[in-house]
Amino acid sequence: MGLICAGSVKRYLGLCKMNAKNTEPIIETKDLTIRFGGHVAVDHVNFQMQLFTLKSIIGPNGAGKTTFFNMLTGQYKPTEGQVFLKGQDITNLSPADRTRLGMGRSFQLTNIFPMLSVLENVRVAIQSREGFGLNFWKSYLHFSDAEDEAYELLQEVLLDEKWSATSAELTHGEKRKLEIAILLALKPEILFLDEPTAGMGQEEVPAILEILQRIKEARDRTLLLVEHKMDMIMSLSDTIMVLQEGRIIADGEPDEIYRSEAVQEAYLGGGTTRE
Amino acid sequence: MAEQTPVQIFRRQERQKQYRSGTFFLKLAVLLLFILVPFLFPSFKSLDLALKIMIFAVLVASFDILLGYTGILSFGHVMFFGIGAYSVALLIGKYGNPTYINLVIGFIVALGITSALALIVSFLSLRVKAIFFAMVTLAIAEFAIILATKLSGFTGGEDGIIMSMPGIFKVSFNMGKFLGVEITGRLITYYFILVVCLGLFLLMIRFINSPLGRVMQAIRDNEPRAEAIGYKTFIVKSISICFGCLVSTILGGLYAMWVGYANPESVLGIPIMLDVLLMEIVGGMGTLYGGLAGAAFLEFAHSFLPDLQNFAKSLFPGAHFLHAAMERWLLIFGILFIMVVFFFPKGIIGSVQDFMARRKTAPSI
Instruction: Give ipTM to 2 decimals.
Output: 0.82
Q: How confident is the model at residue A55 (pLDDT cuts 50, 70, 90)?
A: very high
> Are B361 and B260 in a shared domain?
no
Q: What's the start-to-end Cα distance of chain B, in Å? A: 26
Sort out which chain B residues have CB atoms less than 8 A from A75's CB and list them: 224, 228
User: Domain for residue A47, yes or no?
Assistant: yes
Q: CB A113 to CB B217 under 8 A?
A: yes
> Are B222 and B88 in a shared domain?
yes
CB A115 within 8 A of CB A187: no
Q: How confident is the model at residue A202 (pLDDT cuts 50, 70, 90)?
A: confident
> Are B230 and B327 in a shared domain?
no
Tell me the average pLDDT across A215-221: 83
CB crowding B175-198: b at 16 or more within 10 Å, else e = eeeeeeeebbbbbbbbeebbebbe
Query: How many angstroms separate the CA atoms of A274 and B93, rounded?
Result: 84
Sort out which chain A residues have CB atoms less than 8 A from B364's CB and list them: 164
- Tell which of B296, B319, B346 closes a domain: B296
Q: Looking at the predicted structure, is the pLDDT value of residue B310 above 50? A: yes
Distances (CA, A) of A4 to A12, A187, B230, B231: 10, 20, 12, 11
Query: How many angstroms separate the CA atoms of B61 and B55, rounded?
Result: 10
Q: CB A73 to CB B225 under 8 A?
A: no
Q: Round the average pLDDT of chain A to a whole number and report it.
A: 84
Q: Best of B7, B18, B229, B231 to disrupt the A interface by mutation (most A CBs within 10 Å)?
A: B229
Query: How many angstroms separate the CA atoms of A195 and A199, rounded?
Result: 9
Q: In terms of residues, how long is chain B? A: 365
What is the CB-side half-sphere exposure of residue B115 using CA atoms within 13 A? 6
Structure-model confidence comparison of residues B129 and A170, the more confident one: A170
> Chain A within 8 Å of B361 (Cβ-Cβ)?
no
Q: How confident is the model at residue B109 (pLDDT cuts 50, 70, 90)?
A: very high
User: Domain for residue A177, yes or no?
Assistant: no
Residue A10 is predicted with a pLDDT of 40
Residue B363 is predicted with a pLDDT of 46
> Are B210 and B185 in a shared domain?
yes
Residue B1 is predicted with a pLDDT of 53
**Range(s) of the domain holding residue B351:** 305-365
Tell me the average pLDDT across A116-122: 95
Give the model confidence (pLDDT) of B177-193 as tens digits. 888 888 888 999 999 99
* Among candidates B7, B225, B363 on the partner chain, residue whose Cβ is nearest the Cβ of A151: B7
User: Domain for residue A216, yes or no?
Assistant: no
Q: Looking at the predicted structure, is the pLDDT value of residue A1 above 60? A: no
Give the model confidence (pLDDT) of B231-247 as tens digits. 988 999 999 999 999 99
Number of domains, chain B: 2
Q: Best of A100, A113, A118 to disrupt the B interface by mutation (most B CBs within 10 Å)?
A: A113
Q: Looking at the predicted structure, is the pLDDT value of residue B362 above 60? A: no
Residue B249 is predicted with a pLDDT of 96
Residue A238 is predicted with a pLDDT of 92
DSSP code at position A129:
H
Q: Looking at the predicted structure, is the pLDDT value of residue B144 above 60? A: yes
Residue A22 is predicted with a pLDDT of 53
Q: What is the 3-state secondary structure (H, E, C) of chain B?
A: CCCCCHHHHHHHHHHHCCCCCHHHHHHHHHHHHHHHHHHHCCCHHHHHHHHHHHHHHHHHHHHHHHHHHHCCCCCCHHHHHHHHHHHHHHHHHHCCCCCHHHHHHHHHHHHHHHHHHHHHHHHHHHHCCHHHHHHHHHHHHHHHHHHHHHCHHHHCCCCCEECCCCHHHCCCCEEEEECCEEEEHHHHHHHHHHHHHHHHHHHHHHHHCCHHHHHHHHHHHCHHHHHHCCCCHHHHHHHHHHHHHHHHHHHHHHHHHHHCEECHHHHCCHHHHHHHHHHHHHHCCCCCCHHHHHHHHHHHHHHHCCCHHHHHHHHCCCCHHHHHHHHCHHHHHHHHHHHHHHHCCCHHHHHHHHHHHHHCCCCCC
Tell me the average pLDDT across B91-107: 90
Q: Looking at the predicted structure, is the pLDDT value of residue A11 above 60? A: no
Min Cα distance B23 → chain A (Å) is 19
Q: How confident is the model at residue B230 (pLDDT cuts 50, 70, 90)?
A: confident
Min Cα distance B97 → chain A (Å) is 37
> Are B274 and B326 in a shared domain?
no
User: Domain for residue A272, yes or no?
Assistant: yes
* Among candidates A115, A133, A137 on the partner chain, residue whose Cβ is nearest the Cβ of B221: A115
> Are B282 and B316 in a shared domain?
no
- Tell which of B241, B265, B296 closes a domain: B296
Sort out which chain B residues have CB atoms less than 8 A from A114's CB and list them: 221-222
Residue A2 is predicted with a pLDDT of 33
Q: How confident is the model at residue A17 (pLDDT cuts 50, 70, 90)?
A: very low
Lowest mean pLDDT of A96-100, A252-256, B333-337, name the range: B333-337
Number of domains, chain A: 1
* Among candidates A112, A124, A163 on the partner chain, residue whose Cβ is nearest the Cβ of B7: A163
Q: CB B5 to CB A117 under 8 A?
A: no
User: Domain for residue B143, yes or no?
Assistant: yes
User: Domain for residue B21, yes or no?
Assistant: no
Min Cα distance A225 → chain B (Å) is 17
Residue A154 is predicted with a pLDDT of 94
> Are B53 and B86 in a shared domain?
yes
User: Domain for residue A265, yes or no?
Assistant: yes
Query: How many angstroms separate the CA atoms of A95 and B225, rounded?
Result: 10
**Range(s) of the domain holding residue A252:** 25-93+228-275
Residue B312 is predicted with a pLDDT of 74
Q: Looking at the predicted structure, is the pLDDT value of residue A23 above 70? A: no
CATH code for the domain of A45: 3.40.50.300
Locate the chain B residue with the closest alpha carbon to A151: B7
> Are B172 and B277 in a shared domain?
yes
Decide: helix, strand or coil at residue A173. helix
Q: Round the average pLDDT of chain B to a whole number and report it.
A: 88
User: Domain for residue B36, yes or no?
Assistant: no
> Chain A within 8 Å of B11 (Cβ-Cβ)?
yes
* Among candidates B222, B230, B365 on the partner chain, residue whose Cβ is nearest the Cβ of A128: B230
Rank A215-229, B3-17, B53-67 by mean pLDDT and report only the highest. B53-67
Locate the chain A residue with the closest alpha carbon to B286: A115
User: Domain for residue A219, yes or no?
Assistant: no
Q: What's the start-to-end Cα distance of chain A, in Å? A: 48
> Are B241 and B361 in a shared domain?
no
Q: CB A95 to CB B10 under 8 A?
A: no
User: Domain for residue A205, yes or no?
Assistant: no
Tell me the average pLDDT across A89-118: 88
User: Domain for residue A100, yes or no?
Assistant: no
Structure-model confidence comparison of residues A274 and B304, the more confident one: B304
Tell me the average pLDDT across A162-181: 91
Min Cα distance B10 → chain A (Å) is 10
- Tell which of B274, B296, B318 closes a domain: B296
Sort out which chain A residues have CB atoms less than 8 A from B221's CB and list them: 113-116
Query: How many angstroms separate the CA atoms of A38 and A21, rounded?
Result: 40
> Are B108 and B248 in a shared domain?
yes
Strand partners, B161: B262
Residue A134 is predicted with a pLDDT of 87
Q: Looking at the predicted structure, is the pLDDT value of residue B91 above 70? A: yes
User: Domain for residue B2, yes or no?
Assistant: no
Lowest mean pLDDT of A3-7, B174-178, B193-197, name the range: A3-7
Lowest mean pLDDT of A65-69, B188-192, B350-354, name the range: B350-354
Q: Distance of alpha carbon B76 from its chain centroid, rounded?
A: 14
User: Domain for residue B172, yes or no?
Assistant: yes
Locate the chain A residue with the closest alpha carbon to B238: A134
Sort out which chain A residues have CB atoms less than 8 A from B236's CB and list them: 133-134
Structure-model confidence comparison of residues A96 and B242, the more confident one: B242
User: Domain for residue B5, yes or no?
Assistant: no
* Among candidates A128, A136, A144 on the partner chain, residue whose Cβ is nearest the Cβ of B231: A128
Give the torsion sign (CA, A69, A72, A73, A74).
Answer: positive
> Chain A within 8 Å of B210 (Cβ-Cβ)?
yes
Query: How many angstroms separate the CA atoms of A210 and B318, rounded?
Result: 80
Structure-model confidence comparison of residues A258 and A118, the more confident one: A118
